[in-house]
Chain A
């Protein structure tokens, strides 16, 4: 608590120094500063950037944790990070990558792109959007602060009980996991709801469901999965919180609880979660492959139905994470067949991508390279996925390095490659600057080669008997050279990531402003300037078919046909309440973790309630941008 106060005072001093001291105009200056603008923004484009960059920051954190683990495993009997320290690394790596890196970066792309793709001026609830981001950030920060406040969680990202209970994980580590994920989870849930509402309600005239771009479709379906998958996690975390903080015994078998219940709850959330992070990547790939093949997406309708089917099936397969728990051959068989069934819609997608390229004119830009690298990598992950679906074989793979290899092939080969493809593709639209293609290609090749070098040998490590989550192994058991190769591969991935960092620096410092449509795009976002004006579309566009912008270009039109006359545009005002509310949750989280009569928790929750109150009685109706202002901006863009 004391540390917290010191930090707040320090932050206030810093603000004062940076803005030129406290005096009468201090508040005025703060309100006009760029930092204040970003902290209070409700603009989906800025929130998208915040999501993407903070997600990328956590990606680097998780990557460094992975690097440490590979360093420990480079030779047998290494003693760099052993025992609990290694368990902390593996727990934080998994949790950070899934919840703090992959999902926020996906939300970043969704925020930056979806409203533009459906021809909307913002998301349905801009305030909730900002709140969602700040809650994720508060949760992520809270969890990562565990490293300096008493130790990180060390029970695995799955946090299985009874290991995660007080008896076996004393100290605040697992509490940070529970509270951090709970807070970030609220943010994700409201984010998902927001995108569902946005896509259902805010589509431009003529943008029917079956004219929506594939990325919008996958975002829509992902939001739906979030809506149904996060509540089980919320419940599970709440029960675990009660077990740890308030002495209940939901998961303690000695008191009549059950450890298996946690596994069920976790995986009822956990398996759909996998599709939450992979479906938007599928969407990115569909956009990128279609654009750079200069062809309409092959089998669009079947793509849509495959996506929906995957989402539906994703809720029917969670027991395949639990084949070895001993639930019996009947339930194992049913879930095995259901799991195999997912391969069918996924296969449809892969063939549709291949045949989108078939007959096209393929341009090998960096974004396209990531999409091309994605296909065989992801198919390999899918292959091992089907192999894992057979319970008797899974008895051998389960919790071994084979599984580690499998899910990195789908999560890195699928999601991360998708995110990089999306980053290179939409960077000009998000930032108004291009990324460097040469650096991009270095990024792609080093990352791809490093990735395969790291994870391909891990299939065999698993088959040779190396369980996952181990900090060491015995020499002379056939594991030495494969582990060495695996660690060497990390170098490639690290160089790739550094290249991307340098590319970001390059784009801010040296890149020329990006044109509105640098890739000869097909969807609505490419019809407006890069970056788009704050209101996106001066006049809402009329959508006349699938790939609407491409259709207009083919018809010789220079701009989208308007669906409304030029008029006054209603915009939402910025608000400091979302960040204040997230701060309330953050303090409450700390208060719960440090217990002590829960004073901090009460203060934090009071702050949250005050914010809710302020928001509810806020009479701010936003502001209007008048047509003459719009025309001025438009002229500026054209000149």
Chain B
């Protein structure tokens, strides 16, 4: 519920945006700083609006004087006037020094208080702890208290604080969910914290916001917020033992997976590590960017670099079509 007080602050921005916004957002995945669905994003938007209004006031004053001066004091044809050579005006100069200082003080107070506010770790006991690790070019999410490990999709329950512990392994990345909360950098060698929550169920687009190499533009992820019941269902699903391998094709696929994929995707080789695929069938995207279906999975397997430049996964283009089919069947059945 958006409070009325906040609405009037949002208004000027939206007035400017009316044109740009209309007819643009036709997807269910949300990605908009100006339409936040989390408490952090709302605080940030309040500050954005507050600073915008203050600055707009300054801009209005400057523009008014500017237009007046340009019209009133333009050189007119045939008139040769010698302007008075004034040195300055102490009173005026003090005025336009002091007023900006006051304006900035007005801005500085909420800025500092929000800065401290946002840096606080959640105090409530029902907060969910998630360890986020940024990799070239994918995101790993681990729920240490729940014993779940997944990738590309961060599931959170609506209304509960999520305490993110952000790690890095290779280069700098930056964790950003525009609709929920601003950025926190992934810095290899240090651990950063960030608190996140969503106030309504939905899918929120996440982005990597720090240049991290060739695939930077496609290092996407999603935050999937659902109500408590759905979230618990998801947790149970994730913790359940892997689905049995039933059909012949799937069995062949399992074998192929063990021969070709396990080195990276099951953590045997600690240096080359890919996303955990145990529950691959439950995901909604492939590699964070492709739709989750067989055709796109085959496309990805055939040439990952064509989808995501710089992806570290080798091309699986040496298998026969039926083997690829088997591997696809196996992966899609991992639920």
With a cutoff of 8 Å between Cβ atoms, the chain B residues found around residue A515 in the complex are none
Most chain A CB within 10 A, of B33, B65, B188, is at: B33
> What 1/0 mask marks residues of chain A from 459 to 471 whose CB sits below 8 Å from any chain B CB?
0101111011111
With a cutoff of 8 Å between Cβ atoms, the chain A residues found around residue B117 in the complex are 392
B263 at the interface (CB under 8 A from A): no
Give chain A nearest CB distance to B36 CB in angstroms.
Answer: 9
B32 at the interface (CB under 8 A from A): yes
Partner of B59 from A163, A332, A380, A472 at Cβ < 8 Å: A380
Contacts A333-B116, A343-B100, A358-B73 given; indicate if A470 touches B217 (C-beta within 8 A): yes
Give chain A nearest CB distance to B221 CB in angstroms.
Answer: 13
Give chain A nearest CB distance to B164 CB in angstroms.
Answer: 11
> What 1/0 mask marks residues of chain A from 189 to 224 whose CB sits below 8 Å from any chain B CB?
000000000000000000000000000000000000
Partner of A383 from B59, B211, B213 at Cβ < 8 Å: B59
With a cutoff of 8 Å between Cβ atoms, the chain B residues found around residue A352 in the complex are 88, 93
Check A393–B176 contact: CB distance below 8 A: no
Check A470–B188 contact: CB distance below 8 A: no
Contacts A354-B65, A376-B63, A476-B26 given; indicate if A399 touches B209 (C-beta within 8 A): yes
A260 at the interface (CB under 8 A from B): yes
A41 at the interface (CB under 8 A from B): no
Partner of B190 from A326, A333, A357, A394 at Cβ < 8 Å: A326
With a cutoff of 8 Å between Cβ atoms, the chain B residues found around residue A390 in the complex are 47, 51, 107, 111, 114-115
With a cutoff of 8 Å between Cβ atoms, the chain A residues found around residue B212 in the complex are 163
Partner of A326 from B21, B182, B184 at Cβ < 8 Å: B184
Check B100–A344 contact: CB distance below 8 A: yes
Check A84–B48 contact: CB distance below 8 A: no
B181 at the interface (CB under 8 A from A): yes
CB-nearest residue of chain A to B311: A83
Give chain B nearest CB distance to A484 CB in angstroms.
Answer: 12
Give chain B nearest CB distance to A319 CB in angstroms.
Answer: 12
Cα A260 to Cα B19 with chains together (Å): 41
> What 1/0 mask marks residues of chain A from 126 to 137 whose CB sits below 8 Å from any chain B CB?
000000000000
Cα A387 to Cα B75 with chains together (Å): 37
With a cutoff of 8 Å between Cβ atoms, the chain B residues found around residue A296 in the complex are 85-87
Give chain A nearest CB distance to B122 CB in angstroms.
Answer: 16
Check A253–B189 contact: CB distance below 8 A: yes
With a cutoff of 8 Å between Cβ atoms, the chain B residues found around residue A358 in the complex are 65, 69, 73
Check A477–B104 contact: CB distance below 8 A: no
With a cutoff of 8 Å between Cβ atoms, the chain A residues found around residue B101 in the complex are 344
Contacts A162-B172, A258-B189, A299-B88 given; indicate if A83 touches B182 (C-beta within 8 A): no
Check B172–A259 contact: CB distance below 8 A: yes
Check B182–A324 contact: CB distance below 8 A: yes
A478 at the interface (CB under 8 A from B): yes
B259 at the interface (CB under 8 A from A): no
With a cutoff of 8 Å between Cβ atoms, the chain B residues found around residue A360 in the complex are 73, 83
Check B65–A399 contact: CB distance below 8 A: no
B44 at the interface (CB under 8 A from A): yes
Give chain B nearest CB distance to A228 CB in angstroms.
Answer: 25
A497 at the interface (CB under 8 A from B): no
With a cutoff of 8 Å between Cβ atoms, the chain B residues found around residue A383 in the complex are 55-56, 58-59
Check B20–A482 contact: CB distance below 8 A: yes
A571 at the interface (CB under 8 A from B): no
A512 at the interface (CB under 8 A from B): no
Give chain B nearest CB distance to A63 CB in angstroms.
Answer: 21
Check A357–B69 contact: CB distance below 8 A: yes
Contacts A329-B119, A348-B96 given; indicate if A469 touches B211 (C-beta within 8 A): yes
Partner of B21 from A259, A379, A471, A478 at Cβ < 8 Å: A478
Check A87–B182 contact: CB distance below 8 A: no
Contacts A302-B88, A357-B69, A465-B178 given; indicate if A328 touches B119 (C-beta within 8 A): yes
CB-nearest residue of chain B to A160: B172
Check B83–A467 contact: CB distance below 8 A: no
Check B209–A467 contact: CB distance below 8 A: yes
Partner of A477 from B21, B27, B52, B58 at Cβ < 8 Å: B27
SS of B interface (majority): mixed
Cα A301 to Cα B171 with chains together (Å): 48
Give chain A nearest CB distance to B228 CB in angstroms.
Answer: 27
Give chain A nearest CB distance to B61 CB in angstroms.
Answer: 9
Contacts A348-B96, A390-B107, A478-B24 given; indicate if A259 touches B189 (C-beta within 8 A): yes
Cα A337 to Cα B112 with chains together (Å): 8
Give chain B nearest CB distance to A316 CB in angstroms.
Answer: 15
Partner of B108 from A154, A254, A300, A340 at Cβ < 8 Å: A340
CB-nearest residue of chain B to A392: B114
Give residues 198-245 of B contacting A (CB, 8 Å). 205, 207-218, 220
Cα A348 to Cα B51 with chains together (Å): 19
CB-nearest residue of chain A to B309: A83
Check A400–B86 contact: CB distance below 8 A: no
With a cutoff of 8 Å between Cβ atoms, the chain B residues found around residue A344 in the complex are 97, 100-101, 104
Give chain B nearest CB distance to A231 CB in angstroms.
Answer: 25
Check A83–B215 contact: CB distance below 8 A: yes
Contacts A84-B309, A364-B74, A464-B33 given; indicate if A472 touches B182 (C-beta within 8 A): no
Cα A478 to Cα B27 with chains together (Å): 9
Cα A480 to Cα B23 with chains together (Å): 11
Partner of B32 from A295, A355, A478 at Cβ < 8 Å: A478
With a cutoff of 8 Å between Cβ atoms, the chain A residues found around residue B215 in the complex are 83
Check B185–A324 contact: CB distance below 8 A: yes
With a cutoff of 8 Å between Cβ atoms, the chain A residues found around residue B27 in the complex are 476-477
Q: Could you write out 28 A-B pairs with CB less than 8 Å apart?
A: A162-B171, A168-B170, A259-B188, A260-B187, A260-B190, A300-B87, A324-B183, A326-B187, A326-B193, A329-B116, A336-B108, A337-B108, A343-B104, A359-B84, A362-B69, A390-B111, A390-B114, A392-B115, A392-B118, A398-B183, A399-B183, A399-B209, A457-B20, A460-B20, A465-B31, A467-B174, A477-B205, A478-B25
Top 3 A-B residue pairs of the complex, sorted by shortest distance between their CB atoms: A395-B182, A83-B309, A253-B189
- Add 15 more A-B contacts to A160-B171, A361-B81, A398-B174 (CB < 8 A): A156-B211, A162-B172, A253-B188, A254-B188, A296-B87, A333-B112, A340-B108, A351-B92, A351-B93, A354-B69, A355-B89, A392-B44, A395-B184, A400-B176, A464-B34
**Chain A interface (Cβ < 8 Å from any Cβ of B):** 82-84, 86-87, 154-156, 160, 162-163, 167-168, 253-254, 258-260, 293-296, 298-302, 324-326, 328-329, 332-333, 336-337, 340-341, 343-344, 347-348, 350-352, 354-355, 357-364, 372, 375-376, 379-380, 383-384, 386-387, 389-396, 398-400, 457, 460, 462-465, 467-474, 476-478, 480-482
